[in-house]
């Protein structure tokens, strides 16, 4: 078994910045990602980011990825990158078992940073297994990574930022977005994204959900219906839309399974997407030397994930005995950035969730 100074699991926005901060402080890092390429969600984010310059606002996600990987490139043999490697087991003594192709091996880390992200939530409706029913992330991967259109006429389900942005990206690819339905009584994502697709003629229907997919071998139509205050479908309100694709964007759930395998304390917080690890001020879990950041800690934008990754990287480097220049000042500034990103009405949910978890915001 190989011993590592710091292991980062997940090479998305949070994992990349955590690795960078550790490397900057002189630590050795082993960065593991199950995909072919590093970047996580950044690999498919063709839209420009909001926020401030510090979080690369006005850059596209794919370009931010390039900036971050270029910075990683400076650290040579201090950085070991294991792509196409999946961590399949996690044990309390900070031993990980990994699989890469046909190879199975174990690693142990002095500090372990979890940045495993989240998985998409599925929706129970009739014929939800019909080909043509996609999760929004899958549509984004097909279009933005592989250049494949998922269909010609899409019903989007969910008006969070992912639903709104993917609708726009579908239209950019020449796909018609027939309607966007939202079960809640209001739009979930940023209004600036919603206005953009509304201007392009997409109907955004609130208090509405998909009742069933219709089709023989694949989706030929979708039946939608209005919901009452208890989120129950109203009989007689059904409408049929001619679509060949139903894209489900109903939220994300943190991928805590590895943390739970090693017995880290988690708490169910609906506002944060489900079970999330309970973290201390340092972003450390209930197991000493094990940290969590990004969507795994709470579902937010990549901008926040990058800031959290930096905080975790600095904290982990310091607890390894590495000296970090201006550490206290930088952590304070980073916390301030998080506060800004979570400000205003769009941040209500996250702030409420973090409060339930006992985290000061």
Partner 1 sequence: MDPKNIIICRCSDVTLADIYELFDEGYTSFEELKRIARVGMGPCQANTCGKMVQWEISKYLKKPLEEVPFHNMRPLTLGVKLRAIKEAAEDEE
Binding site for partner 1 (CB under 8 A): 1, 86-91, 97, 99, 102-106, 119, 121-129, 211-212, 233, 253, 255, 257-258, 260-261, 268-270, 274-275
Yes or no: say if 161 and 183 are a contact pair by the CB < 8 Å rule: no
Nearer to partner 1, 263 or 344 (CB): 263
CB of 136 to partner 1, least distance (A): 14
| C-beta separation of 7 from 112 below 8 A | yes
Cβ atoms of 219 and 133 closer than 8 Å: yes
Q: Which residues pair with 289 in a beta bridge?
A: none
* Minimal distance, residue 270 CB to partner 1, in Å: 6
CA gap 314, 328 in Å, rounded: 9
Q: How far is the CB of 182 from partner 1 (least distance, A)?
A: 18
Whole-number Cα distances in Å, 342 to 80, 189, 355: 33, 13, 13
Q: What is the nearest approach in angstroms of partner 1 to the Cβ of residue 118?
A: 10
Least Å distance between CB 132 and partner 1? 14
Q: Which is nearer to partner 1, 4 or 211 (CB)?
A: 211
Nearer to partner 1, 206 or 261 (CB): 261
CB closer to partner 1 out of 22 and 255: 255
Comparison of 86 and 206: residue with beta carbon closer to partner 1: 86
Instruction: Quote the least distance from Cβ 86 to partner 1, whole Å.
Output: 6
Return the structure tokens found at 130.
Answer: 């019909």
Residue 165 or 258: the one with the smaller Cβ distance to partner 1 is 258
Residue ranges of E strands in the chain: 2-9, 29-32, 79-82, 86-90, 95-100, 103-114, 118-120, 133-135, 153-157, 176-181, 203-205, 208-214, 221-226, 239-241, 245-248, 252-254, 266-269, 274-277, 290-292
């Amino acid at each position: 078994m190989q011993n590592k100074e710091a292991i980062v699991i997940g090479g998305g926005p949070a994992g990349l910045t955590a690795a960078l901060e550790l490397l900057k402080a002189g630590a050795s890092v082993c960065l593991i990602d199950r995909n072919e390429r590093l970047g996580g969600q950044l690999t498919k984010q063709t839209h420009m980011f909001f926020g401030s310059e510090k979080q690369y606002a006005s850059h596209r996600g794919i370009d931010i990825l390039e900036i971050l990987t270029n910075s990683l490139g400076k650290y040579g043999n201090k950085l070991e990158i294991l792509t196409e490697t999946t961590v399949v087991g996690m044990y309390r003594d900070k031993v990980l078992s990994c699989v890469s192709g046909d190879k199975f091996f174990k690693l142990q880390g002095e500090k372990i940073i979890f940045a495993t992200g989240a998985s998409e939530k599925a929706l129970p409706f009739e014929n939800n297994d019909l080909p043509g029913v996609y999760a929004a992330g899958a549509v984004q991967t097909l279009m933005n990574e592989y250049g494949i259109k998922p269909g010609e006429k899409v019903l989007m389900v969910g008006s969070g930022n992912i639903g709104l942005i993917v609708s726009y990206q579908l239209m950019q690819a020449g796909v018609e977005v027939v309607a966007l339905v939202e079960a809640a009584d209001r739009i979930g994502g940023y209004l600036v994204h919603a206005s953009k697709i509304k201007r392009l003629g997409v109907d955004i229907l609130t208090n509405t959900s998909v009742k069933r997919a219709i089709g023989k071998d694949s989706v030929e139509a979708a039946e939608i219906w209005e919901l009452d205050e208890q989120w129950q479908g109203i009989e007689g309100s059904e409408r049929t839309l001619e679509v060949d694709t139903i894209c489900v964007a109903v939220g994300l759930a943190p991928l805590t399974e590895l943390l739970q395998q090693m017995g880290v304390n988690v708490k169910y917080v609906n506002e944060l997407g489900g079970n999330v690890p309970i973290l201390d001020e340092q972003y450390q879990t209930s197991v000493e030397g094990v940290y969590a950041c990004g969507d795994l800690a709470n579902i937010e934008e990549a901008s926040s994930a990058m800031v959290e990754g930096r905080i975790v990287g600095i904290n982990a480097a310091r607890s390894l005995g590495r000296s970090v220049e201006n550490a206290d000042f930088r952590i304070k500034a980073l916390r301030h950035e998080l506060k800004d990103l979570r400000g205003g009405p769009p941040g209500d949910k996250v702030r409420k969730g973090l409060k339930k978890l006992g985290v000061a915001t």
